[in-house]
Structure 1
Amino acid sequence: MYQPVLDAVSGSLGLTALFAALPLVALFLLLGVVRMRAWLAALLSLLIAVLVAVFVYPMPVGQALLAASEGAAFGFFPILWIVINAIWIYNMTVRTGHFDVLRRSFARVSDDQRIQGVIIAFCFGALLEALAGFGTPVAITSVMLIALGFRPLKAATVALVANTAPVAFGALATPITTLATVTGLPMQDLSAMVGRQTPLLGVFVPMALVLIIDGTRGVRQTVPATAVCGVTFALAQFATSNYFSAPLTDIVAALVSAAATVLLLRVWHPAHTYVEAVPAGGAGTSDTPATSDPAESTEDKRDSSREVFRAYAPYGVIIAVFALAQIPVVKSALASATGTFAWPGLHLLTASGKPSTLPLFKFDWLGAAGSLLIVAGLVTIPLIGISARRAWSAYLETYRQLAAAILTVMAVLALAYVMNASGQTATLGTWMAGAGAFFAVLSPILGWIGVAVTGSDTSSNSLFGALQVAAAQQAGLSPVLMAAANSSGGVLGKMVSPQNLAIAAAAVGMSGKEGDLFRRVLLWSVVFLALMCVLVFLQSAPVLSWMVP
């Protein structure tokens, strides 16, 4: 039975915190400075975490390795189980051509590129984030924008900035699920708290996208559309996360905001249509479009109503499956198959001497979001007309496509579990709690740093979630508020993370020019982060404390 000692180095909390920070510092440096491949950086940082646990705390080698194995297992199920099956559904739509139908459907909503940017990058990007996350929205929406005539650099910038407000509930709320697991806090409370923070971003992001596309003039000319889109997204995100279902939050918000914007466009259009006039050229430069005639790919081909229906069908099926899973009788039946067991051989106590809940592994194989996506995918197969053989081939290809991501996520979660089990996270949290009430300002910044380095709100929550709770308890702040702030602040680090920058640059043919993209998005990231810090501080004070569940 292992019980961590938080001041293991000469009885000094500060000195022990220096050693406890080594795995995170290594991960930051390897990814952000050395620019090492994410999976390799994660594995090396995991090794450092194990060494610190064994030689500094000291934790038995067997316990440290068992904690790592449990973290890796949790990384695959339920986290990667969601991502793999969501991207499988997307890959099937690509193989059948229905994704192209969907893209053309978006393009015909408006011939104004500012409106197209908002609908595709923000609304559809939020839907992709809801279903897959992990860079998928940036890669797909940036390519769609280029196909509509956007300059590559602008397309990538718009896609990156748009991928903010939906991120905390991405991949069917995987970041929230992870946060609840590593902190031991109720998932519904965390979902509700995040749902009272990120909607504020949702209100302003559509306007920010138009500002990037066409400056202040464009913002003035499109206020009705951006206001309707942002406000409806915020209201839907708040309502769904607080009163309905965390996994469905972004799906509902994306569809509601898209529908509201499309309905508005039936009765209102900008006084002046904006379409970039650019010379023909390749997609490899920042000042030329990928296609000289974007209309060629969107207007010349008319899709039948049947094809449009089939293109939207997979997303409707997903919503229906998850909605049915929330019906009490069905929910209870799914939960009956859930098994919870102690991780074999892992025996842990908390620093206070109480039995740790970390070794308890919940295996809800039937009711897990990834399993529900399998059901949705099977229903989708006949609807989009793909053969069982091609569907199976797409499933295997999805694993090959995500091989590096699978290894990275499993390694990062293993790192988080080792740090949590050994006491490294608790040491850092206890030390940082010395900031007192000011920790409320630092909390979103920690989340931002975590996502900026790891590229994932899920990974950031796994790394810092327990730390946020430990610091909150020491500082007399709400653990739910601080844990949620980690996720809400983290979404703003997504656009500056090396992984997302690389994905965006590769998608638009600008590999090697990630620095140009970084300079374009850094200010947006910092400004939105400052706004989040102010909001969280006010929520920790009497001014807005009524917002904390």
Structure 2
Amino acid sequence: MFVQPLTPVGESLALSALIALLPLVILFVLLGGLRVAAYRAALIALALAILVAVFAFQMPMVQALSSAAQGAVFGVFPILWIVINALWVYHMTVKTGHFDVLRRSFSRISDDPRIQGVIVAFCFGGLIEALAGFGAPVAISSVMLVALGFPPMRAAVVALVANTAPVAFGAMGTPVVTLAKVTALPLGPLSATVGRQTPLLALFVPLVLVALIDGKRGLRETWFPALLCGTAFAVGQFATANYLSTELTDIVASLAGALVLVFMPRKNPNATATEEQTDSTAEIVRAYAPYAVIIVIFALAQIPALKSLLASATQTFHWPLLDIKTAAGKPASGNNFSLPLLATGGTLVLLSGVITAAILKLSPKDAVLEYTSTVSKLRLPIVTVMGVLGLAYVMNLSGQTATIGSWIAGTGPALAFLSPVLGWFGVAVSGSDTSSNALFGALQATAATQAGLSPVLLSAANSSGGVLGKMISPQNLTIACASASMVGQESVLLRQVLPWSLGLLVVMCVIVVLQSTSVLGWMLP
């Protein structure tokens, strides 16, 4: 049996925490400073975390390796299982031409480019974030905006800034699900708390977008539909995260925001008429069908009887070669592992994909080819996610995270302000709210408990603050530049979006501080 030590190095909490921080520091330096490929940086940091666990925290090598293996498996299933299947659905729509149908459908809702920008980047981008995440919304939105006539730099900026509010519930709620897993906190309260933080950002993001697209004139002329869209998104995100389903949160919110604009079209008096291919009603219905199918499948999976049936297939077992107790003497949650074969977003999206292939009239052979192509394109991100999750599990199970959290807890009430900053920093470097939650989620919970604050609040703040780091992460900047045909312009793009990232981060920090007091404490579940 291995008991996690809090002060393994010289009985000094500060020194022990500094040693425990080494893997994270190396990861950030490699990614943010030296621009090392993400998958290489993740593997190097993982190796260092294992060395720290074994030689500083006295964790048996076999248990350290087993912890890394468990993290890697969790990275594949359910995290990558969701991403692969969601991107497969998208690639099938591209293969059959229905993605272009969808793009043309958006352009017909309004000929005002400011409204088009909100529809594509915020609403449709939010829907892609809900299904896939991991850079897909920025790539797809940038391409669509350029196709609609946006200058490349403006398209990239709009796509990046729009990819904020949906991120915490992206990839079928994967960041929040991961947060619940690594913190051992119940998913319901975590989802509800995040759903009472990020909607406050969503209210204003469309206003920011129209200002980015057309300056003060855009804000003056389109503030009402933009604010209405943000409100619809925020209400949808709040209601779904709190009362329906973590996985469906961004899907419902994005569709709510889009519907407001669909039924409130605004014509641009300066628009010039253009001839465009006319799509039949049947083709338009097919273009929207994949997303409707996913919503129906996930909604059906929430019916109590069916939900129980799906959950009955979940396999829970003791993870091999792990026998760990926390510093408090309690068995570590990582000793056991759950494998939700059916009751997981990835399996439901896979079923939706099979139905989608039939609706889009894609042959089984072509559908399989698209699936294998999707996996092939994700081979390096797969290694990256497995490495980052392996790193997170080694740090959590060896006690490194608990030691860092205990040390940070010394900041006391100031921790409420710093909590979103930590999440922001994690996403800015790793490019993933899921990875940031895996790295810092348990740390936030531990530090909150030590400081006398709510572990649910600060763990949720890690995810909510993290969404604002997405637009400045090197990976997303590169994706945006590549998609908008601006290779090599990452530094210019960074200067465009950094002020918005920092400004919105301060807003989120203030929200979390107020929620930790009686001023906004009533908002928490």
Please give the range of the TM-score, normalised by the shorter of the 2 chains: over 0.9
Name the SS for the 2:8 alignment partner.
coil
| Structure 1 position 532 matched with structure 2 position 491 | no
Instruction: Give the distance between the partners of 2:264 and 2:104, measured in 1 at CA.
Output: 19
Shift of 1:210: 0.9
Instruction: Give the distance between the partners of 2:399 and 2:304, measured in 1 at CA.
Output: 39
Does structure 2 conserve the Cα–Cα contact (< 8 Å) formed by 1:339 and 1:363?
yes
Does structure 2 conserve the Cα–Cα contact (< 8 Å) formed by 1:168 and 1:457?
yes
Aligned with 1:460 (options 436, 455, 461): 436
Q: Aligned residue for 1:278? A: none
Does structure 2 conserve the Cα–Cα contact (< 8 Å) formed by 1:145 and 1:155?
yes
| Structure 1 position 347 matched with structure 2 position 329 | no
**Structure 1 unpaired stretches of 5+:** 276-294
Q: Aligned residue for 1:211? A: 211
Shift of 1:5: 1.1
Q: Aligned residue for 1:29? A: 29
**Structure 2 unpaired stretches of 5+:** none
Shift of 1:353: 1.2
Aligned with 2:297 (options 321, 333, 337): 321
Does structure 2 conserve the Cα–Cα contact (< 8 Å) formed by 1:334 and 1:366?
yes
Normalising by structure 1, what TM-score?
0.95
Name the SS for the 2:321 alignment partner.
coil
1:274–1:450 distance in 2 versus 1, CA, 3 Å: farther
Q: Aligned residue for 1:548? A: 524
| Structure 1 position 382 matched with structure 2 position 392 | no
Shift of 1:273: 4.2
Instruction: Give the distance between the partners of 2:159 and 2:276, measured in 1 at CA.
Output: 26
Name the SS for the 1:408 alignment partner.
helix
Can you list the C-alpha shifts for 1:140-194, whole angstroms capped at 9, x where unaligned? 0000000011111110000000000000000000001100000011101100000
Can you list the C-alpha shifts for 1:319-364, whole angstroms capped at 9, x where unaligned? 0000000001110110111111111111111011111111221111
Instruction: Give the distance between the partners of 2:345 and 2:338, measured in 1 at CA.
Output: 13
Instruction: Give the distance between the partners of 1:512 and 1:191, measured in 2 at CA.
Output: 38
Q: Aligned residue for 2:257? A: 257
Instruction: Give the distance between the partners of 1:273 and 1:524, measured in 2 at CA.
Output: 29
Instruction: Give the distance between the partners of 1:422 and 1:367, measured in 2 at CA.
Output: 29
Does structure 2 conserve the Cα–Cα contact (< 8 Å) formed by 1:111 and 1:273?
no
Name the SS for the 1:510 alignment partner.
coil
| Structure 1 position 487 matched with structure 2 position 463 | yes
Q: Aligned residue for 1:13? A: 13
Aligned length: 525
Can you list the C-alpha shifts for 1:33-81, whole angstroms capped at 9, x where unaligned? 1001000000000011111111111111111000000000000000000
Name the SS for the 1:43 alignment partner.
helix
Letter in 1 for 2:409: A
Normalising by structure 2, what TM-score?
0.99
Q: Aligned residue for 1:281? A: none
| Structure 1 position 310 matched with structure 2 position 290 | no
Instruction: Give the distance between the partners of 1:318 and 1:479, measured in 2 at CA.
Output: 33
Q: Aligned residue for 2:445? A: 469
Can you list the C-alpha shifts for 1:241-267, whole angstroms capped at 9, x where unaligned? 0011110000000001100111111xx
Q: Aligned residue for 2:154? A: 154
Instruction: Give the distance between the partners of 1:376 and 1:141, measured in 2 at CA.
Output: 23
Can you list the C-alpha shifts for 1:63-115, whole angstroms capped at 9, x where unaligned? 10000000000000000000000000111110000001001100111111111
Letter in 2 for 1:392: V
Deviation >2 Å, runs of 4+ = 272-275
Q: Which moved more, 1:362-371 or 1:455-464?
A: 362-371
Instruction: Give the distance between the partners of 1:10 and 1:372, measured in 2 at CA.
Output: 50
Q: Aligned residue for 2:424? A: 448
Name the SS for the 1:149 alignment partner.
coil
Does structure 2 conserve the Cα–Cα contact (< 8 Å) formed by 1:162 and 1:206?
yes
Instruction: Give the distance between the partners of 1:230 and 1:342, measured in 2 at CA.
Output: 45
Q: Aligned residue for 1:183? A: 183
Q: Aligned residue for 1:360? A: 336
Does structure 2 conserve the Cα–Cα contact (< 8 Å) formed by 1:114 and 1:274?
no
| Structure 1 position 430 matched with structure 2 position 385 | no
Q: Aligned residue for 1:141? A: 141
Instruction: Give the distance between the partners of 1:316 and 1:3, measured in 2 at CA.
Output: 49
Instruction: Give the distance between the partners of 1:510 and 1:349, measured in 2 at CA.
Output: 51
Does structure 1 conserve the Cα–Cα contact (< 8 Å) formed by 2:111 and 2:267?
no
Instruction: Give the distance between the partners of 1:476 and 1:547, measured in 2 at CA.
Output: 18
Name the SS for the 1:512 alignment partner.
coil
Question: How well do the aligned residues superpose, as a CA RMSD in angstroms?
Answer: 1.0
Name the SS for the 2:334 alignment partner.
coil
Does structure 2 conserve the Cα–Cα contact (< 8 Å) formed by 1:31 and 1:38?
yes
Letter in 1 for 2:334: L
Letter in 2 for 1:104: R
Shift of 1:300: 2.1
Shift of 1:405: 0.6
Instruction: Give the distance between the partners of 2:361 and 2:466, measured in 1 at CA.
Output: 39
Instruction: Give the distance between the partners of 2:260 and 2:116, measured in 1 at CA.
Output: 14
Name the SS for the 1:108 alignment partner.
helix
Letter in 1 for 2:221: Q
Can you list the C-alpha shifts for 1:454-479, whole angstroms capped at 9, x where unaligned? 00000000000000000000000001
Shift of 1:547: 1.5
Q: Aligned residue for 2:110? A: 110
Q: Aligned residue for 2:99? A: 99
Name the SS for the 2:204 alignment partner.
helix
Q: Aligned residue for 2:499? A: 523
Name the SS for the 2:338 alignment partner.
strand
Please give the residue correspondences for 1:169-318 in structure 2 after superposition, counting only pairs within 5 Å.
169-265=169-265, 268-269=266-267, 272-273=269-270, 299-318=275-294
| Structure 1 position 506 matched with structure 2 position 482 | yes
Letter in 2 for 1:183: T
Instruction: Give the distance between the partners of 2:405 and 2:146, measured in 1 at CA.
Output: 44
Instruction: Give the distance between the partners of 1:469 and 1:227, measured in 2 at CA.
Output: 34
Please give the residue correspondences for 1:117-128 in structure 2 after superposition, counting only pairs within 5 Å.
117-128=117-128
Shift of 1:223: 1.1
Instruction: Give the distance between the partners of 1:192 and 1:269, measured in 2 at CA.
Output: 38
Can you list the C-alpha shifts for 1:416-440, whole angstroms capped at 9, x where unaligned? 0000011110111000000101100
Q: Aligned residue for 1:370? A: 346
Shift of 1:238: 0.4
Name the SS for the 2:324 alignment partner.
coil
Q: Aligned residue for 1:287? A: none
Q: Aligned residue for 2:165? A: 165
Instruction: Give the distance between the partners of 2:469 and 2:117, measured in 1 at CA.
Output: 21
